[in-house]
Amino acid sequence: DAKTTQPTSMDCAEGRAANLPCNHSTISGNEYVYWYRQIHSQGPQYIIHGLKNNETNEMASLIITEDRKSSTLILPHATLRDTAVYYCIVRARSHYTGTASKLTFGTGTRLQVTL
Amino acid sequence: DTEVTQTPKHLVMGMTNKKSLKCEQHMGHRAMYWYKQKAKKPPELMFVYSYEKLSINESVPSRFSPECPNSSLLNLHLHALQPEDSALYLCASSQDQNPGNYGYTFGSGTRLTVV
Average pLDDT over residues B50-63: 93
CA of A1 to nearest chain B CA: how many angstroms apart? 14
Average pLDDT over residues A21-42: 92
Q: What are phi and psi of B59, to 5 degrees?
A: 55, 45
In order of A7, A24, A87, A89, B57, the CA distances from A47 in angstroms are 18, 18, 10, 11, 27
Residue B103's pLDDT is: 79
Over 90: is that where the pLDDT of A93 sits? no
Over 70: is that where the pLDDT of A101 sits? no
Helices and strands (DSSP H and E) totals, chain B: 0, 11
User: For the segment B36-49, what is each residue's pLDDT rounded down to a tens digit?
Assistant: 999 999 999 999 99
**Between B10 and B94, where is the model more confident?**
B10
For testing the chain B interface, which of A46, A62, A90 should be mutated: the one with the most B CBs within 10 Å? Answer: A46
Q: Taking the CB of residue A91, how many other CB atoms lie within 10 A of it?
A: 20
Could you tell me the end-to-end alpha-carbon distance of chain A, in angstroms, rounded to an integer? 38
From the list B48, B58, B59, the residue with the least C-alpha distance to B98 is B48
CB contact under 8 A, A100 and B55: yes
Q: Quick check: B46 and B36 in contact, CB under 8 A?
A: yes
CB contact under 8 A, A105 and B44: yes
> How far is it, in rounded angstroms, from Cα B50 to Cα B30?
6
Q: Quick check: A84 and A74 in contact, CB under 8 A?
A: no
In DSSP notation, A41-87 reads: TS--EEEEEESSS-EE-SS-EEEE-TTSSEEEEEETT--GGG-EEEE
Q: Which residues contact B114 (CB under 8 A, 6 or more apart)?
A: B12, B13, B14, B15, B81, B82, B83, B84, B85, B86
CA of B103 to nearest chain A CA: how many angstroms apart? 6
User: For the segment A11-25, what is each residue's pLDDT rounded down to a tens digit?
Assistant: 999 999 999 999 999
By C-alpha distance, the chain A residue nearest B87 is: A41
